[in-house]
Amino acid sequence: MVKVFMMNDLVRTVMTTTGALALLVARPPLTAAQTPAAVTKGATLEFLARGSITAADVDDRWLFGGISGLAWDAANNALIAMSDAKDQARAYTIPIDVAAIASGSFAVSVSATHHLPQKDGNVNPRDAEAITPDGEGGFAIAFEAPPMFVRFNDKLSQQLLVKPAPEELSKRLIPNRAVESFTLTPGGGPLGVAPSLLAITEWGPEPTNRNVTGADRLKARGRCAALALDPATLAVRAKGIYPLGRIFTTKGGKSLAEIASIDSTSFLALERFIAPGAIYNAELFVVTIAAGDTADEFTLLKTPVKLPSFPGIEHLGNLEAMAIGPEIPDAKGGRLLLMATDNNFADEKFGRPNTDFLAFRLILQK
C-alpha cells in the first residue's frame, strides 16, 4: 500500500521507550548457557535473479497485486505473499526453486490463492500488511483496518485467535501507519528464552500529549513502536522503539516497510522511500536487539547493509515485502533473501503493471 511522505536516517542509534504501551506479560530471563554466543554484526548481499508476475498471470476472481508482506513456508519450500487488498483479504503461495534462482533463473507463479476467512460478522479485518510464521505451526498476520493481529492455521483457512492492537497504542496510531512489519524471533536472545513475534509500526505513533506539534511531532513519527508478542496468546511481553529517524528527507518520504528475523539477536529491516513522481528507493539494515533498562524493554541498533546494483534497479517499484529463506546449496552458501514490490494494483499515480520479485544471496557477518 502506498503512503506518501519524505527522510534522513539515524544509522546507529539506540532508543528505549518511555511510558507503558500495554499490559505486559512476564518473560523468562536468560541463563548464561542460553545467552547467544555470536551476534550478527552486518551482512553483504549478492544479486541472484529477478522475476515478475502480473494480474493476468493469476486465475482468480480477485485482482492479484498489492503484495505487502512475505513469509517463508519451510514445509512447502514456498513463499506466502500477503496482499493488502481492501476487499477480500487474501494471500498467495509462490513455489521457490532455490537451485534455479542461485543459477540466475526466477520463474514466478502462483500455485494457490488463500481467501482468508472471517471469524464472525463482527471481526473482519482488512488491509493486511505483514505475515510471519507464528511459531505454533501456523501464520500470524498484522492488519491495519482495524489495527489487529490474527493467528491462522497452516492452510490459512481458519482464524485461531484475533487480538486488537494494544488500546493505548492503537488510539495514537496514524491512519494507514499501523504495524507494517511482523517476524518470528527465535528464543534464547534478549527477548527471552521462548520465541517472540516482533511487530513494528510503519511510523511512530502520535505523542501522548496532543499539544505537541511541529518538529517535535515529526520527531515522534520517526520513533516506531516495537512490540514483542507471545506467539500463542499475542499478549505483549516487552516493548521498544525502532529508530526510523526523520520521515521527510531529500530522498522522499521514509517508512519502515518490512522486517525479517535473522536469529535471536538480530533481524533485517527494509526502509523505503517515495518521492514525487512515484520514484521509489530503499535501504536495508541489520538491526541488533539488546536488553533494555528493565525486563519489559528492549533496544534496537541499526547497521546499514549495501543493496547491490542489478538490471532495472533505476526503475524499481515500491519495494515493500521481504523474507529470508533457506541456505543456498552451492559452494558460496549463504541464505536466500527474497523481496517483492507492491504494485498498488496498477494504480495510475503510484502503481506498476507488474509485481517484481528479487532474490539475493545473504552472507551474515558474525
pLDDT tens-digit map of 55-64: 999 988 889 9
Q: Read off the C-alpha cell for 360.
A: 539475493
- β-sheet bridge partners, residue 336: 361
Instruction: With CA atoms as reference, report the closest residue to 290 among 281, 282, 302.
Output: 302
Mean model confidence pLDDT for the chain:
86
- Is the sign of the CA dihedral 270, 194, 149, 65 positive or negative? positive
Contacts of 327 (CB under 8 A, 6+ apart): 333, 334, 335, 336
Assess contact for 314 and 251: CB atoms under 8 A.
no
Question: Within 10 Å of residue 363's Cβ, how many Cβ atoms?
Answer: 16
Element (H, E) at 100: helix 98-102
State how far the Cα of 200 lies from the Cα of 259, in Å rounded to an integer: 8
**Model confidence over 121-158: pLDDT tens digits?**
555 677 899 999 999 999 999 998 888 999 999 999 99
Q: Under DSSP, is residue 227 helix (H, G, I), strand (E, B) or coil?
A: strand
Average pLDDT over residues 256-274: 96
Backbone angles phi, psi at 185, to 5 degrees: -100, 125
Residue bearing cell 539515524? 10
The pLDDT score that the predictor gives to residue 248 is 86
CB distance 71 to 132 below 8 Å: yes
* Whether CATH 3.40.190.10 fits 6-24+39-365: no
329 within 8 A of 306, measured Cβ to Cβ: no
How many residues would you count in the chain? Answer: 366
Give yes or no for a contact between 304 and 283, defined as CB atoms under 8 angstroms apart: yes
What are 284-343's pLDDT values in tens digits?
A: 999 999 999 998 999 999 999 999 988 888 778 889 999 999 999 999 999 999 999 999
If we measure between CA atoms, which residue out of 70, 296, 282 comes closest to residue 183?
Answer: 70
For 103, the grid coordinates are: 543459477
Exposure string over 33-42, b if 16+ CB within 10 A, otherwise e: eeeeeebbeb
In 3D, which of 212, 190, 318 has the Cα closest to residue 263?
190
Domain ranges in the chain are: 6-24+39-365
Return d(Cα 148, Cα 164) in angstroms, integer.
Answer: 4
Which one, of 266, 225, 291, 292, lies nearest residue 362 by Cα?
266
Q: pLDDT digit string (tens) for 11-44?
A: 333 333 333 333 344 455 544 334 455 678 899 9
Dihedrals phi, psi of 338, to nearest 5 degrees: -120, 135
Q: Where are the alpha helices (DSSP H) in 127-253?
A: 167-170, 214-221
- Contact (CB, 8 A) for 149 and 159: no
Average pLDDT for residues 114-126, to the nearest whole number?
Answer: 72
Of 241, 228, 170, 178, the residue nearest 198 (C-alpha): 228
Q: Is the pTM of this model over 0.75?
A: yes
